[in-house]
A and B are shown apart, each in its own frame.
Chain A
Amino acid sequence: EAGVAQSPRYKIIEKRQSVAFWCNPISGHATLYWYQQILGQGPKLLIQFQNNGVVDDSQLPKDRFSAERLKGVDSTLKIQPAKLEDSAVYLCASSLDSRYEQYFGPGTRLTVT
């Protein structure tokens, strides 16, 4: 069974630029999550999708972050414009349903200079 795929693995941008991350969840997983992990901290949930609907985006900085999950499969997370404090690893995870264990992708390490 293929795991959660993410791309790119690494990205370096300057502040005020835009960036997008892509996630392909495990086949058949209805729930998809985006987390932000800042160095020295645990993952923090940014947004949770159930199929193609948003379940929780209470911690998503909506003035600069956006996410979509078209057709309930792949998802894209965008930051526009980026700030220095957005430097972090962005993790995508999926689960069969919200009550089941989450499977994480390898993450995208973003550095904003």
Chain B
Amino acid sequence: DQQVKQNSPSLSVQEGRISILNCDYTNSMFDYFLWYKKYPAEGPTFLISISSIKDKNEDGRFTVFLNKSAKHLSLHIVPSQPGDSAVYFCAARDGNKLVFGAGTILRVKS
């Protein structure tokens, strides 16, 4: 039972353009959502988060949007840079536990 889904396994974007990564969830009890970024042979690193009481959080080039009625969140990266090429995981908090999606591979072409 996948409670957090990232339906796009990969995404390719031109440098300078916007990258939009999507995530859907089923559990309405999730109270906090996070995005992690992972480079090969490294562990995931925290990128940005949003509380379920907000609908937007921005940090530099990264913005996360939350649509609670649709149980959907998205990560926008503007402008995209080649160094952003990585696997991006969406995660949701249920009590003390994080539930992760399967990840989306982002490739930013220069």
Contact = CB atoms under 8 A, between A and B. Distances in A.
Contacts of B43: 4, 91, 93, 104-107
A44 B100 contact: yes
Q: What interface size band does chain B fall in?
A: 20 to 34
Q: What interface size band does chain A fall in?
A: 20 to 34
Interface in A51-104: 55-56, 91, 93, 98-99, 101-104
Contacts of A48: 96-97
Interface string B38-82: 000111111001000000000000000000000000000000000
A45 B98 contact: yes
A45 B45 contact: no
A104 B4 CA distance: 20
B49 A42 contact: no
Contacts of B100: 42-44
B48 to A, nearest CB: 10
Most chain-B Cβ atoms within 10 A of its Cβ — which of A91, A93, A102?
A102
Contacts, number: 46
A107 B43 CA distance: 6
B96 A101 contact: no
A40 B10 CA distance: 11
Nearest to B42: A106
Interface in B76-110: 89, 91, 96-103
A42 B4 contact: yes
A102 B101 CA distance: 16
A40 B101 CA distance: 10
Given A42-B100, A42-B101, A44-B100, A103 B46 contact: yes
26 contacts: A41-B102, A41-B103, A42-B4, A42-B6, A42-B89, A42-B91, A42-B100, A42-B101, A42-B102, A43-B44, A44-B100, A48-B97, A56-B96, A56-B97, A91-B43, A93-B43, A101-B46, A102-B98, A103-B45, A104-B36, A104-B43, A104-B44, A106-B41, A106-B42, A106-B43, A107-B43
Interface of B: 4, 6, 34, 36, 41-46, 49, 89, 91, 96-103
